[in-house]
Amino acid sequence: MTRLRVALLDMDGTVFDSMIDLAAVRRDLGLERDGRGILEQITELAPDARARGLEALLDAEARGAASGELVPGAVELLAALRARGVRCALVTNNSRASADAMLRRFPLAFDLCLTRDDGPTKPDPTLFRIALKRLGAAATEAISIGDAHLDLLAAHAAGIAEIVLVRPSSWVLDFIPAGVAHHRAADLREVREIVERLLD
Ligand SMILES: [Mg+2]
């Protein structure tokens, strides 16, 4: 198979546990969990509710970035990828401010960080395409690692060769279309094993 040259990693719920309760933010705004990203849902609210929703989301994200913790195995996974010559991008629907705040607290070895301030959010494949272009790799040389259907759908739409879904919430599984080939992992140690196997 094609050699993997680039890994595209999601932030929240994948390498970083912000402990943000997005379900509570959704509840406060009266938003259903319908499979769309929360930002997309907020954007469609009436102007007043939209402003309130954006403020609540930004506030939750900022608190999360300031007080969250790395997911166990994140440092080791990045080290393993880099040791095998795989370049790593953090690709998140979170804001630039929160991603930078997280990376200041935990200087993970990413070659690139893209946020919603850099383009349309996942499941749109644009951020993945930008990352591939910036890192000089084809989609067929990339692996995506994320915890949500949004990551999987974006990776699938971008034609990413290997897709890993790690520790997904049970409700996420309702939004995984049948027929999208992917690996499932219970934690980042298992992700590392999958990656090592693919690289051998
Ligand atoms: Mg996530």
Angle of helix 47-67 relative to helix 22-29, nearest 10 degrees, comes to 160
* pLDDT higher than threshold 80 for residue 2: no
> What are the pLDDT digits (tens) for 75-90?
999 999 999 999 999 9
Residues ≥6 apart with Cβ < 8 Å to 32: 26
pLDDT tens sequence across 11-47: 999 999 998 888 899 999 999 999 999 999 999 999 9
| Distance of CA 181 from the midpoint of ligand 1 (Å) | 19
The domain defined by 6-17+69-199 folds into: Rossmann fold (3.40.50)
pLDDT > 90 in the chain, percent: 94
Instruction: Kindly tell me if the per-residue pLDDT of 101 is higher than 70.
Output: yes
What's the whole-number mean pLDDT along residues 171-180? 94
Distance from the alpha carbon of residue 169 to the mean position of ligand 1, in angstroms: 10
The answer on pLDDT for 1 being more than 70 is: no
pLDDT of 153 reads 97
Average pLDDT value over all residues in the chain: 95
Domain parsing of the chain, residue ranges: 6-17+69-199, 22-67
Angle made by CA atoms 154, 27, 165, in degrees to the nearest 5: 30
pTM for the full predicted model: 0.95
Query: Beta strand pairing status for 69-70 and 16-17?
Result: antiparallel
Ligand 1 mean position to 196 CA, how many Å?
22
Cα of 85 from ligand 1 centre, angstroms? 25
**Sorting pLDDT into bands at 50, 70 and 90, what band is 168?**
very high
155, pLDDT greater than 90: yes
Residues whose Cβ atom is located within 5 A of ion ligand 1: 10, 12-13, 147-148
- In the structure encoding, which two tokens stand for residue 80, read together? 């393993």
Asked if 191 and 147 touch (Cβ cutoff 8 Å), the reply is no
What does the pLDDT average to over 78-105?
97
Q: Is the pLDDT of residue 116 over 90?
A: yes
